[in-house]
Amino acid sequence: MEPHSLRFRSSVEKDLRRLPAKSRSRCLERIAELRLTPRPAGVRQVIGGERTYRLRVGVHRVIYQVDDAARVVTVVTVRHRKDAYR
């Protein structure tokens, strides 16, 4: 099976720059894994989002959308858990 492609909203770059280096690398590592497994164990669907999911990476959350028909994972935001759902 062909892996999904990754897309990032333009605001994600700014979100990642705000993170400490160690957290940033962990988030990017987990995001890269989404190409092969867009819904890994422990991922939850965001309430009110039909194709929107959240991935826990320590105290940070990666909010992303999956389009299975186009085989695309779009990262929407990467934030601290207290700010992720606002």
Rounded Cα distance between 43 and 21, Å, is 23
> Is 90 exceeded by the pLDDT of residue 2?
no
Nearest alpha carbon to residue 72 among 44, 41, 34: 34
pLDDT, one tens digit per residue, over 35-75 is 999 999 999 999 888 899 999 999 999 999 999 999 999 99
The answer to whether the pTM exceeds 0.75 is yes
> Is 80 exceeded by the pLDDT of residue 1?
no
For residue 85, the model assigns a pLDDT of: 76
Please report the domains of the chain, with CATH numbers, ordered by start residue: 5-80 (3.30.2310.20)
> Is 80 exceeded by the pLDDT of residue 4?
yes
